A and B are shown apart, each in its own frame.
Chain A
């Protein structure tokens, strides 16, 4: 029975039409084993379904260019971004291919004039492939436009410190000469029972005409653009006048505090620059203050720094007010004037020496800081000054202490650095590296 069944199957195998199924016939197997062995190796089973033809293209692309929510939580696919997707179909049109064949009805009209267009091949276009590759290379390599050093903010491509232009005009009123700078840009969240966690951007900007008029405001929005616009336009609504002394610095030293942020601000002469916290520097640029020193003590929260600084600026007194308040002349003495006492402001009635009470603050600095004293750390000499090697270094350097002055005077006198022996021995001159000779441009004969 069993033998019969086996024979049936063998016959059936013989009769199979499928040419790929090359299973060795049972009969031959019995006759020649070597042949059978070879045939078995040659046979190759193929599976026609696989990962690539089971899934549609958009699913495949999704797999590479996105991460599931669960995957994201586990930190997968950090470099995956929609910007990296390459659309390989771009630039490809049905009917147009490598072999430049004209297909009437697909890539060409069927009838041209009175003639029927026939399918024919045109010479190959060598540029086509190059263009396609170029197009693909452009995709997926997005780069931010490089900022010029002037446009750059405090750090990298981040917004804080960057300028975003004048506020939008209101009706016919334009903000000419104004400029707005970002001081803070951060994401903030709001949690609600029904909406869940909501993400927004919070922006603080300061706007001003760099001539004593400025304002600051916060704006929030889902997009950076909207948040920035809101903050900018709100700040234009909150402008205030700020007194600037001689168009370059603050009127006097002052102390100002908001929360735990304390700022000591000092008036400085021209050419000093802005030596302070970056937020204060940015504000000064917008307000129009060019020289100032400020020391922030306590918290350096930007929000608080802004408020403290603006409070201090708006509370400034003019020199006339100060003189009137003290009842004394306010006199400026500086060494560039050869210590000439320049009277800056005088009160209507000057107090006499007898009228000044003993506990009255007479020192101008103490008066400005409201009796507070800036803590100045003692500066210790650097560690290396105790080393023996530093002593040796100083000793070796001593002979060079005048060198730069001597060089300068030699250049002033002779136009070059030269030895005192140069008159006697003309070769005693400073070595100058000879200029590298540029290869002469080849002249073609005509």
Chain B
């Protein structure tokens, strides 16, 4: 890996080829790509949205998230200098049940999976063309409709170009103008430099996946290119470095599974599930895979579907086969032990 990276760096230096494709909007920073991952956006040709919002898919994704309430409400740093004093209370069973029920509802809200959408297409509607205005001004003019109650997405924002054409603003400009007039908390006018490759790589190496994904969620819209660039890189890095446990019981796990299934790279996740002997989850993953890629697997409550997958579609065949074998041996040993115990107790 390091060798590859070294070579790629050398190549970059030699050709002085900078990758301007992924420049952060508004800042004209040409970043040299150092990460080994290429972003994989959901393109408009095959829209993932109808599949993602399918009820069955949603329920599969949720069940794969493996929710633990204690983990959902784990202690977080709130950015204050001191931790607050915890409050202790005496409660009867009824009072506690009411509180727990509320927490459950809150957890469901917190675990809503960020929508998976295709990258939005550029708006290019031209409203008028006045060649007479050419050369009148030295900068573009932006006109915004700030009527109360209009959604950010539907707001009319147009630009008078220098050559006199009046057309829809591009997405980056729309975001900026929307933020200027209707700022949202947790979002900044310019995206933080954390999302640039050098800094992002550092964060990923520190396995701060949840932090990056949360920040991306608050900074970008789900159908923005930048959002999908960041999340896809994070998901790939996480999958390669076996960080699935870090995202379980968070809202991002569903998005991760969907991404892996969509890009046909579920092998690491499947390996993780089998090694931790979560067979039912492995089956659910196969079901999801079949649903999205329109494949038919046979389910028998054991590892039949997984075997079929390994034979046909797997890219990590050796490791998966070994894991399956190890799992089956373990099961056998367990059965033997149980029957032995039963025999010792004379239950047979």
A: residues with CB less than 8 A from B are 252, 268-272, 326, 328-338, 340-344, 350-353, 356, 362, 364, 367, 412-413
Contacts and interface: CB of A to CB of B under 8 A. Distances in A.
Given A340-B69, A341-B100, A413-B190, A334 B92 contact: no
Given A329-B91, A412-B193, A413-B193, A269 B96 contact: no
A344 B90 contact: no
**Interface size classification for chain B:** 20 to 34
7 contacts: A328-B92, A330-B91, A331-B88, A331-B99, A334-B84, A352-B93, A352-B94
Interface-centre pick from A269, A337, A340, A351 (highest chain B CB count, 10 A) = A340
Interface in B58-79: 69-70, 73-78
B83 A412 contact: no
B112 to A, nearest CB: 15
Contacts of B82: 269, 271-272
B92 A329 contact: yes
A328 B95 CA distance: 10
Nearest to B86: A334
B96 A341 contact: yes
B192 interface: yes
B103 interface: yes
A333 B90 contact: no
A1 B178 CA distance: 142
Contacts of A271: 82-83
A343 B78 CA distance: 22
Contacts of B96: 329, 331, 341, 343
Contact of A336 (B69, B75, B92): B75
Contact of A333 (B86, B106, B110, B190): B86
A333 B84 contact: no
A271 B75 CA distance: 15
A413 B196 CA distance: 12
Given A330-B88, A337-B76, A352-B92, 11 more contacts: A269-B83, A331-B88, A336-B76, A336-B77, A341-B91, A342-B70, A350-B92, A352-B93, A367-B90, A412-B192, A413-B190
The 8 closest A-B pairs by CB, nearest first: A340-B73, A269-B83, A334-B86, A328-B90, A341-B99, A364-B88, A336-B75, A329-B91
Given A272-B82, A340-B69, A332 B87 contact: yes
Given A340-B103, A413-B193, A329 B93 contact: yes
Contacts of B110: 338
B61 to A, nearest CB: 23
Given A338-B106, A341-B99, A413-B193, A333 B94 contact: no
B89 interface: yes
Interface string B162-193: 00000000000000000000000000001011
Nearest to B69: A340
Contacts of A335: 78, 84
Contacts of B300: none
B85 A269 contact: yes
Given A336-B84, A340-B69, A331 B89 contact: yes
A350 B92 CA distance: 7
Contact of A338 (B73, B85, B91, B99): B73
Interface in B254-301: none
